[in-house]
Structure 1
Amino acid sequence: MDALKMFFRDQARIVWKEAWEAACLIGENPELGYQEYFAVETLTQLLKSHGFEVEQPAAGLETAFIARFSGYKPGPRLAFLAEYDALPGIGHGCGHNLIGAASVGAAITLSKSLELPGEIWVVGSPAEETSGGKVILVNKGAFQGVDAALMFHPGSQNVTSISSLALDALEFVFIGRPAHAVAAAYYGVNALDALIDFYNKINQLKDNLPHDAYINGIITEGGTSPNVIPERAVARFYLRARQRKVLNTIRKQVIRCAQDAAAQVSAKVTWSMFENSYDEMQTNRTLAGIFEDNLRELGVRNISPPQYAMGSVDMGNVSRLIPAIHPYLTLGGGMNIPHTRDFAQTCLSASGERLLLLAIQALALTGWDILSVPKLLSRAKRELKSRVPAK
C-alpha cells in the first residue's frame, strides 16, 4: 500500500468515530421510507461540519439530499450513495444505518487530501425498502454529470460483484356490478370471480416461466359483504426476472391474463404500478475489481465469487446509467438473517462497528483509485457501454 493510501486508511480511522456515532443514532431512531428526517439531519450535519455543501431536499424528495465537495484540481465526479430507511416493526434489519454512515465516512475521508482531484458527492436516497428513491433520483436527472457510483451493503459474505432481479410492482383493480347475492345475483357482475380466475391463470403462467423468473401476489380487496356481489376486487403482484427485457415480456403476459379473466364475466380491469420499477443490478466488473483489490490490501482474504442476489435493489437503475457497484461485506460471523431484529441489533454491536470501519476504508480507497487513475474510469465506462442492454 502506497503512502497516500495509507493516509486514507488512517484518516478513515479518525472519521470512523463520528460515522459510528451517526450510525448508532440512526439505528436507534429508525424511520420508514420518505420519513427519514432525523437520519437526513444526522448525516447532512456531519457532512456540513467537514466542509460539504448540502442540497436538501433534492429531486423533489424531502428526505433526499446531495452533498458536494470540490477537489483541488479538475477530475471526475464520484458519488457515494447513502441509504437510511428502516423496515416496519423491525428497524434497521437491512443495515441501512451502516450504509449511510459508510458512504458519508468514505466521502469525508477522501476530502481530507490536498491532492484530491474532481468532485465528491454523497447522494442520500430514501425509501430503498419500499418505492426505491434511487429510481426517482435517476428519472429526475440527479446523477447528471456523475462518472461513477459506489456503496456497500452488510451481508453474510464478502461479495464484490452481484447481480439482482429486475422488478415490477403491479396492482390490478377489477370492477363489476353489485347486486343482492341471492335475490338479484343474475344482475351482478362479480369482480372477485374475475380476480380469482386471474389468480388461477397466473398460477398456470408460473409453470411456463424461465427458472429465474418469479411472480408473487396477494388479494388486497375482495368485496364488502358475503350478501353483496363484489363490485371491486384488487390484487397486487411482484414480477421479477434476471433481465429487464424478459420481465417486460412477462408483464405483458400477466396483463393479458387479467384482461382475459375480466372478459369472462364482463367485468372491467385496470392496472398500475404501485411502486417504482427496479432494473437488474449491472455490477461494473472494472470497479468491482478495484474494490476487491483494496479489500485484499486491507487484509481481507475470504472473498466470494460473483453472486446472484435473489432480491431487487434500486441501485440497479443507477447501474444502467453510470458505472456502479453494490458489494456486500460480512456482518459479524455472517450468520445473521437480513430483515430481522437480530440483524438490526448486530448492526449496532461491536461487529457492526468493525464492519463500518472496513466499509469506509474500502470505499475511500476505491474512490481514490477512480479519481486519480483516469484509465480505470475510462475502462469502466467502456464496459458499461458494452454491457448494458436496451430496455
Structure 2
Amino acid sequence: MLEVEMSQLLQEIEALRQPMKELNDFIFDHPELGNEEFQAHKLLTNLLEKEGFTVDREVSGLKTAFRAVYYVNGGGPKIGLLCEYDALEGLGHACGHNLQGPSICTAAIALKRTLQAPCTLVVYGTPAEETASGKLVMAREGVFDDLDLAFMMHGSDTTTVDGKSLALNLVNIKFHGKSAHAAIAPEKGISALDAVLLFFNGMEYLREHVPTEVRMHGIITDGGKAANIVPDYACTQWYIRSSSRIRLDEIVERVKNVAQGAALQVGATMEWEEVKAYDNKVNVQTLNDILLKNAEKVGAPEISEPRKVTGSTDFSSVTFRVPGACLRVKFVGKGVTSHSQEWLDNGKSQLAEDAIMYGAKGIALSVEEILETPGLLEKIKEDFKQAKENF
C-alpha cells in the first residue's frame, strides 16, 4: 500500500469524525430493542444512500435490516461490512452497538472515496443481535454467501480481534403431562415437573461422556403453578455449546434422547423447541493478523491477543460461510465487561468517539491492503478453507 493512498484514506476517515460522533450520540440517546431499530435504520440507510450506495431497506423479511452496495471502479471482490444497532432492554446501549454503525459507515464511505482497486462494497445492517439474531436469519437465506470477506467492529476493554467461538444451540424443552390434585388423587396425574427433574439428572450423567470443551447449562423456566397440583406442563431452557458445529449436532441428538427418556419414565410427552443456533467461528489467522496490525498502525490503544475463553456470537453464522474478522476496539477500562453500567457510562465519551475512528481506520486499511496486495485475498481464502476442514 502506498503511503499517499494510506494518508488519503485516513484523512477521509478523520473528516467524518464530527458527523459520526453526532450519529453515535443520537443512536445512543435513542436506544431501540431488536427488530425495532427504526430510527437507527433510517439514519444509516439515508447516510449511505446520500453517498451513492444502492440501498435495500428490508432484507430477509427483517424490516430493520438493510443492504447497501457500491461498485468501486466497476466492481470486483465483494467486501462485506456489518454493523449492529440494537440495544438492551433496561440497559440501553450497554453493549456498545451505538458505535458500530458510525464506524462501519465511516470505513465504507472512506473506501468508496479513495480506493483504486476495483471491488464491491456491501454494508449490512444486522438487527436484533441481542435477541432473535438478524444475522442468523440472513445467513440461513444465503445473504452473505457471495462475499469474499466480511468485517465487523465492536467496542471492548482492549483492542483485539475475535479468536474462536463456540457453536451454540439454545433450546426450550417442554414436557406435557396431566394435572391432578396432589393430595387427593396424585395417581391420576402425570407430572411434567418430574420429567424435567429426571432430565436434569440425565444431563449430569451425560456430562461425563462429552469432550471437556462442551458446555451445557440450563434453568427451569416453568415448574408448575401451585404445589398442590400435579404440573401438567413444565419447561426447561438450555444452552448447549461446542467448539465444533459438527460435534455439537451429535451432542444435541444425545440431549434429545435424554429428554425423550425422561418423558417416557413418567408417561409425559416431550416437545423440543429450537430458539436459535449459532455456528462456531472459523478463525482465519492471516486475516486476524492483518486487522490487528493495522489497528496498531493507526494507534488504537492497548493492543492484546485474542481472548482464549469465549462464548458464542451470531457473527459466526457469517464467518462459518465466508472468511471474516471482527476488530474489537478499547473504549472502557481493562476487565470491564459488556452489559454493564460502565459500558453505558462510556457510550458518548471521548474514548467512544476515538473507538469509532480506530475501528474505521483498522478495517479500511485492511481492506485496502488485501485488495492491493497480489495473492493476499487468495491466501486468506485458502487459509479459511483449511481452517474449516479442521472442524
The verdict on a shared fold, with TM-score over 0.5 as the criterion, is yes
CA–CA distance in structure 2, aligned partners of residues 304 and 342 of structure 1:
21
**Structure 2 counterpart of 1:316:** 316
RMSD: 1.8
CA–CA distance in structure 1, aligned partners of residues 111 and 374 of structure 2:
17
**Structure 1 counterpart of 2:26:** 25
CA drift of 1:186 comes to: 1.0
**Structure 2 counterpart of 1:345:** 345
TM-score by length of 1: 0.95
1:175-222 residue CA offsets vs partner (Å, 9 max, x unmatched): 111112222211111111111111222233334443322112111112
Alignment of 1:225-374 (within 5 A): 225-274=226-275, 276-300=276-300, 302-374=302-374
TM-score by length of 2: 0.95
1:208-247 residue CA offsets vs partner (Å, 9 max, x unmatched): 4433221121111122222321111111111112221222
CA drift of 1:158 comes to: 2.0
**Structure 1 counterpart of 2:66:** 65
Q: Say if 1:282 and 1:388, in contact at 8 Å, map to a contact too.
A: yes
**Structure 1 counterpart of 2:84:** 83
CA drift of 1:154 comes to: 1.2
CA drift of 1:294 comes to: 1.4
CA–CA distance in structure 1, aligned partners of residues 382 and 286 of structure 2:
10
CA drift of 1:332 comes to: 3.5
CA–CA distance in structure 2, aligned partners of residues 226 and 385 of structure 1:
55
**Structure 2 counterpart of 1:133:** 134
Q: Give the aligned residue type for 1:133.
A: G
CA drift of 1:362 comes to: 0.8
**Structure 1 counterpart of 2:377:** 377
Where 1:81 maps in the other structure, the secondary structure is strand
Please list every run of 5 or more consecutive structure 2 residues that lacks an aligned counterpart in the other structure: none
CA drift of 1:263 comes to: 1.1
Where 1:75 maps in the other structure, the secondary structure is coil
Q: 1:272 to 1:216 in 2, by over 3 A?
A: same
1:269-296 residue CA offsets vs partner (Å, 9 max, x unmatched): 111202x211111132222122122123
**Structure 2 counterpart of 1:107:** 108
Where 1:22 maps in the other structure, the secondary structure is helix
CA–CA distance in structure 1, aligned partners of residues 57 and 364 of structure 2:
24
Where 2:375 maps in the other structure, the secondary structure is helix
Deviates more, 1:381-390 or 1:227-236: 381-390
**Structure 2 counterpart of 1:164:** 165
Where 2:60 maps in the other structure, the secondary structure is coil
Q: Say if 2:327 and 2:363, in contact at 8 Å, map to a contact too.
A: no
CA drift of 1:303 comes to: 2.7
Deviates more, 1:363-372 or 1:234-243: 363-372
CA drift of 1:302 comes to: 4.3
**Structure 1 counterpart of 2:43:** 42
Q: Give the aligned residue type for 2:348.
A: L
Q: Give the aligned residue type for 2:91.
A: I
**Structure 2 counterpart of 1:190:** 191
Where 2:55 maps in the other structure, the secondary structure is strand
Where 1:112 maps in the other structure, the secondary structure is helix
CA–CA distance in structure 2, aligned partners of residues 301 and 20 of structure 1:
19
Percentage identity across paired residues of the two chains: 33
Where 1:62 maps in the other structure, the secondary structure is coil
Q: Say if 1:164 and 1:308, in contact at 8 Å, map to a contact too.
A: no
Q: Give the aligned residue type for 1:51.
A: G
Q: Say if 1:117 and 1:372, in contact at 8 Å, map to a contact too.
A: no
Q: 1:358 to 1:181 in 2, by over 3 A?
A: same
1:347-370 residue CA offsets vs partner (Å, 9 max, x unmatched): 221110111111111111112123
**Structure 1 counterpart of 2:154:** 153
1:52 aligns with 2:53: yes
Q: 1:178 to 1:390 in 2, by over 3 A?
A: farther
